[in-house]
Structure 1
């Protein structure tokens, strides 16, 4: 039995872990006015200061995993308490950290949970990594009991999220038969379609084409076709059932349909839905690059708003899923739109959001290029090493506040 506490140490409820293979694996207190399973993070009371200090968090699945991680010195660790990582939990972590490392169990269920968590984190604008545990280890608790230093090393070396998912998609395909490479290409395209940012998607697409020894044009065509077909797919009709919650969305569903958007992107979306005329100002005079937006609905809202000619947002030009997002944004209160006492409040708020979009994009690119640079060095591709090192240096110039923490190579 484990107490589940809030950040201040107040007890919200209790959780239990079944012994052996009994089911359910985790059993928590019933929902109350104070305890909401989808929002609680086990260990947050002990991890909060470390998370704030590191600007990073490690998320594991179980109670014993948290205890083990803290005993190994990884004190910025919390658990999702036996539930899939939720948007409420991610928003909680996002107030304290800019990076989340997922360190889940190594069975198929653990990998599936990590894959789903990546989408939720990306939609909230939180960078993530996936900790890859050594072969033969089932969870963080087991690794800490075997070798605490190996666990801390695995967390420190965790690669970017999309890199891990691409590596799994291409497992057994590189240098394989035609059928193996075809299967790898299909898996890679399905994974790449989930990456919300165009530049990041393009970089991983280049890597996948190189590793499969395929032309960029063929993979790009398959990816464009999949994204087009997915966007046109009608929304699923879910009949009412007595189950407590709907199943998690399939990985092939369009990202914009079921996951939340980063709060700074949501603000920009609200602005253009309320006042479409501001869309052109965003892109033309305030320097917003729509390709740096991670949520496809926000990109669509801005592009559609820019074509409005009568002062009202052309809702009819959106698909069903985008219309639902736009309707919710239209209900949001945007006080800066009517703040006559501070006429520059709106421009300051927009500028801050545009800056957050730009910084998040640069950081994602930095993480990807650094990983590619490391891979190029290991593989002896010296021409790529020079090119990637120059690219990393240029990215560092775009992020002066981070320059002191960047090392080329």
Structure 2
């Protein structure tokens, strides 16, 4: 359970004030600032629990009682407890944070000045940041020596309204070493507070500002409070970006730049776009793509993905198409493996960063790239496969071996088995072999050298069902045969048998025409294996059963074509190849339409 409603510190803040705070603070509104909240009946709301990973919402909110409870991890309490748990605050700090939001005036009882100061340290550091945001912003908008910074932001395509909305600022450089420190001293902040907040540092000549000669990007926590800065140097200074170090109010591994502005859009769309830079976030927001966040100068971590999972089930991670971007994909892949999010990869064409792309092409084109982003695991596997010549048996074997370690690192068993089957399809390799090798990589001591695998992919099972019907009941498959092109068959031996089916004859005739004993043995086995449906009175499988097999075969093929089309579009530069991009995109839409026509559902068919 969460900490109880404040009995431990009740003597410090009047009970009447706490009661008033609980009345005014709507727990649903507060929770919605941190997670995607949906109505779940009369007076109840639910969400994915922010305190543990889950796929099905178990976090429940009772509006009438103004309480929350998670049936998965058993955390619960009132609105004050919720803020304590989410923000890692003490009871008094959580009360003060809510009081500031709701306008409740707090009265402290039986507390010395020292106790009050200790309980409000984090609020003091946040207040110092508020003053710093205003100070830097005023300098950017009006100071003559900030003209270079204003020109830079204008050149990058940012409007005055955008600069104001994101609170951008200017930190003057030498010889103005301590302008902010002096300003905050006048606001009665101590040197110790400025140093602890990461706004100043001590040197041989005393206190001096941490940020000098930089465009300032304030970072706000998810509730909208300023807690840190990123500063970009103009000119040749180093480092190019200087970020606030860890402080009592800022933990860069658990915060994301722009989440305070993006959280509502993420909750609406169900997806987050993660970029690398402050300018990328701001430019995309300005272009109307508002579900965008960035890390604060650090690699994506499991904590970042857990944070994003509170608001939506999908994250599209955008990278530059250079060596550094490839390395970032690998680091993000490791973090994403432990997440329950659907993580996808967007490579911005021609080495552009998202800000440059969206300024040149607009938000709609960037959304098009994001909507075509492949799953991260698929992206990693396909990138690995591309290094090998699949026309050569040795190349196929090396491609499979290179990908086995990737598949084996997938923690979700269902996903791992699905990608094992896909790897077999993409490399045109016997799925039994691939499943066996993945099992060995996982330390399965029961795996033998012979490809004796108990599980195969959904498409392979479907191909076997099609061939069983065709070999055992040729009359049932007749009218459907023309609808299944041999190229729809993924396993080479199955493809060979299907071509013989189309040539005509029963199982005995087909076996007689085949020359390879392994293929003939497969025909004999399929001709004897029972089908998984009762026969009709005419002794044939139900027509609906055969139709479903054929349609699902088409859906698998369409999915493969859609994947290939998305991959091609991902590589195509929409700026340099605008007409071809539009044509290929139209083809993609047509394929998606055909898939929807067959399945009757907007999402990819989940066959098998």
Normalised by the length of structure 1, the TM-score is 0.55
1:33 alignment counterpart: 248
Report 1:98-177 matches (<5 A): 98-134=313-349, 136-148=350-362, 149-177=364-392
1:271 alignment counterpart: none
Which of 81, 85, 108 is the aligned partner of 2:296? 81
Contact 2:408/2:438, CA 8 A, preserved across alignment: yes
**1 CA distance for matches of 2:385 and 2:604?**
29
What SS does the aligned partner of 2:348 have?
A: coil
Which of 217, 223, 230 is the aligned partner of 1:8? 223
Structure 1 residue 39: Cα displacement: 1.4
2:560 alignment counterpart: 375
Contact 1:174/1:211, CA 8 A, preserved across alignment: no
The total of aligned residue pairs comes to 254
1:70 alignment counterpart: 285
Query: Are 1:95 and 2:310 an aligned pair?
Result: yes
Higher radius of gyration, 1 or 2: 2
Alpha carbons of structure 1 residues 378 and 130: separation in structure 2 relative to 1, 3 Å:
closer
2:409 alignment counterpart: 194
Alpha carbons of structure 1 residues 127 and 379: separation in structure 2 relative to 1, 3 Å:
closer
Structure 1 residue 379: Cα displacement: 7.5
Alpha carbons of structure 1 residues 377 and 78: separation in structure 2 relative to 1, 3 Å:
closer
Alpha carbons of structure 1 residues 203 and 25: separation in structure 2 relative to 1, 3 Å:
farther
Alpha carbons of structure 1 residues 120 and 213: separation in structure 2 relative to 1, 3 Å:
same
Structure 1 residue 371: Cα displacement: 8.7
What SS does the aligned partner of 2:443 have?
A: helix
1:52 alignment counterpart: 267
**2 CA distance for matches of 1:164 and 1:116?**
14
CA offsets, 1:310-360, max 9 Å, x none?
xxxxxxxxxxxxxxxxxxxxxxxxxxxxxxxxxxxxxxxxxxxxxxxxxxx
Report 1:10-409 matches (<5 A): 10-17=225-232, 24-134=239-349, 136-148=350-362, 149-228=364-443, 373-376=558-561, 406=603
Structure 1 residue 11: Cα displacement: 0.8
Structure 1 residue 166: Cα displacement: 1.3
Alpha carbons of structure 1 residues 207 and 87: separation in structure 2 relative to 1, 3 Å:
closer
CA offsets, 1:134-154, max 9 Å, x none?
2x1242123223322432210
Normalised by the length of structure 2, the TM-score is 0.38
What SS does the aligned partner of 2:242 have?
A: strand
Contact 2:559/2:604, CA 8 A, preserved across alignment: no
Contact 2:273/2:291, CA 8 A, preserved across alignment: yes
Structure 1 residue 178: Cα displacement: 4.4
Unaligned runs of 5+ in 2: 1-215, 446-553, 566-590
RMSD: 3.4
**2 CA distance for matches of 1:82 and 1:371?**
41
Alpha carbons of structure 1 residues 198 and 31: separation in structure 2 relative to 1, 3 Å:
closer
Alpha carbons of structure 1 residues 90 and 377: separation in structure 2 relative to 1, 3 Å:
closer
**2 CA distance for matches of 1:23 and 1:140?**
23
Contact 1:9/1:45, CA 8 A, preserved across alignment: yes
Structure 1 residue 199: Cα displacement: 2.6
What SS does the aligned partner of 2:312 have?
A: coil
Structure 1 residue 168: Cα displacement: 0.7
**2 CA distance for matches of 1:21 and 1:220?**
53
Contact 1:70/1:77, CA 8 A, preserved across alignment: yes
**2 CA distance for matches of 1:370 and 1:22?**
55
**1 CA distance for matches of 2:369 and 2:390?**
27
Contact 2:278/2:294, CA 8 A, preserved across alignment: yes
Alpha carbons of structure 1 residues 212 and 90: separation in structure 2 relative to 1, 3 Å:
closer
What SS does the aligned partner of 1:165 have?
A: helix
